[in-house]
């Protein structure tokens, strides 16, 4: 099953016999608070207009636990996540489509969490809300309670697993190259990367309108970076959000990959963990 869906395909699916549950996960990584500006309000954006029938899901409060030693966006409790999904109408036998404001990171986080916990049919709207040409609604839906029960599966890395994979397979760093090198670090304690990790900014997986590159181009990109057919692949980023977007890009390319959710925000919080700087992985 393709991990992404176009706006035209979504419109057809919504008009079909088994329409998908729609999740709106608009979110932005924002430094506005530090600059004294009001932070991005995804719920307000949703209330102003969303794809008809979509249910808002708050990434910071519902797709992540409390920030701390496990990183800025650690996984929430399974029970809490399951309750959120069921309230949104998610059932195991119903397809789910997730979208955000166009960047794709937040939608990919929801996609990854549902896939990791066993949902068999989840896709991300390619290009997000800006790609949608249909009407928008301000009506807040009240979906019937779903029956989804999350059961964690494979594809999750912890700090030790990420460090080991950087030696035994391929560990991609999905952040901007300047953060990988340690030239700048606007958020976390120190700059740099996990020793052995390969710089692979997820922004290079999409076109200027936020849509993913064709699958064959993504396969060629990841192969050139070391992701051969028999190679175990993992991804991390700053806090497990843009990294999910790279896992999604790898899925589009037909390459399975695990996600280190704690990512650099967890890794760099421990001064005992090694840090590499510069363009060289080591």
Active-site positions read: 237
What is the largest distance, in Å, between two alpha-carbon atoms of the chain? 55
Rounded CA gap, 267 and 272, in Å?
A: 9
Per-residue tokens: 13: 């699916």
Please give the full DSSP string across 2-31, using - where no structure is assigned: -SEE-HHHHHHHHTSSSPPEEEE-------
Alpha-carbon distance 224 to 27, whole Å? 31
Contact assessment for residue 133 and residue 6, using Cβ atoms and an 8 Å cutoff: no
- Contact assessment for residue 165 and residue 198, using Cβ atoms and an 8 Å cutoff: no
Distance CA 190, CA 86 (A): 39
237 and 153 Cβ atoms separated by less than 8 Å: no
């Amino acid at each position: 099953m393709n991990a992404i869906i176009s706006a035209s395909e979504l419109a057809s699916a919504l008009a079909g016999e088994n329409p998908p549950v729609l999740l709106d996960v608009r979110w932005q990584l924002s430094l506005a608070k530090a600059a004294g500006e009001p932070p991005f309000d995804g719920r307000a954006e949703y209330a102003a207009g969303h794809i008809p029938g979509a249910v808002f899901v708050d990434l910071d409060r519902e797709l992540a636990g409390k920030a701390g030693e496990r990183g800025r966006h650690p996984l929430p409790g399974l029970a809490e996540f399951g309750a959120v999904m069921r309230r949104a109408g998610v059932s195991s036998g119903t397809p789910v489509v997730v979208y955000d404001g166009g960047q794709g990171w937040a939608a990919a986080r929801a996609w990854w969490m549902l896939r990791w916990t066993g949902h068999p049919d989840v896709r991300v709207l390619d290009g997000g809300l800006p790609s949608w040409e249909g009407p928008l609604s301000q009506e807040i839906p009240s979906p019937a309670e779903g029956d989804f029960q999350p059961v964690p599966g494979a594809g999750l890395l912890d700090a030790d697993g990420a460090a080991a994979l950087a030696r035994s397979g391929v560990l991609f760093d999905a952040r901007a190259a300047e953060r990988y090198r340690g030239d700048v670090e606007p958020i976390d304690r120190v700059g740099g990367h996990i020793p052995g990790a390969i710089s692979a900014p997820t922004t290079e997986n999409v076109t200027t309108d936020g849509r993913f590159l064709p699958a064959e181009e993504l396969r060629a990109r990841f192969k050139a970076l070391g992701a051969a057919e028999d190679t175990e692949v993992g991804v991390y980023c700053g806090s497990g959000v843009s990294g999910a977007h790279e896992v999604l890009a790898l899925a589009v390319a037909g390459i399975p990959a695990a996600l280190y959710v704690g990512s650099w925000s967890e890794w760099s919080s421990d001064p005992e963990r090694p840090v590499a700087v510069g363009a060289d992985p080591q």
